[in-house]
Amino acid sequence: MKEALNILKQSVCSLKIPQTKDSKILEKVKKNTIVGLMAGGEGTRFKTVSSDQEVNKNSFKLPNGDTMIERTIRIYRDAGVTNFVALVYTHADSIVDLLGDGTKLGVNIKYSYDPKKPVGKGGAVKNAFLNNSFDDSKYLIIHNPDDQIVNFEDKFVDRVISGHLEGEEKGKMGTIVVVEETPYTFTGMDIYDNEVKEIEMYPMIPIPTHTGVTVFSPGMFKYFDDLFDLSKKSDFEKVLFPLLTKKKLLYAVSIPNNSWIAVNDPKAYKEFLKYLDLDSLN
> 281 lies in a domain?
no
Reply yes or no on whether the pLDDT at 279 is more than 90: no
pTM of the model: 0.93
> 282 lies in a domain?
no
Please state which of the ranges 3-7, 49-53, 118-122, 181-185 shows the lowest mean pLDDT.
Answer: 49-53
> 207 lies in a domain?
yes
> 250 lies in a domain?
yes
Q: What is the per-residue DSSP string for 180-208?
A: S-EE-SSEEEEEETTEEEEEEESPEE-S-
Number of domains in the chain: 1
Q: Which of 173, 254, 163 is nearest to 210 (CA)?
A: 254
Q: What is the pLDDT of residue 11?
A: 83
> 133 lies in a domain?
yes
Read off the pLDDT of residues 178-234 as tens digits, 9 standing for 90 and up: 999 998 889 999 999 999 999 999 999 989 999 999 999 999 999 999 999 999 888
Reply yes or no on whether the pLDDT at 262 is more than 60: yes
User: What CATH number has the domain bearing residue 85?
Assistant: 3.90.550.10
In which domain, by residue range, is 184 found? 2-9+18-276
How far the first Cα of the chain sits from its last, in Å, is: 37
> 62 lies in a domain?
yes
Indicate the pLDDT class of residue 52, thresholds 50, 70 and 90: low
Read off the pLDDT of residues 73-93 as tens digits, 9 standing for 90 and up: 999 999 999 999 999 998 999
Q: What is the pLDDT of residue 58?
A: 92
> 268 lies in a domain?
yes
> 114 lies in a domain?
yes
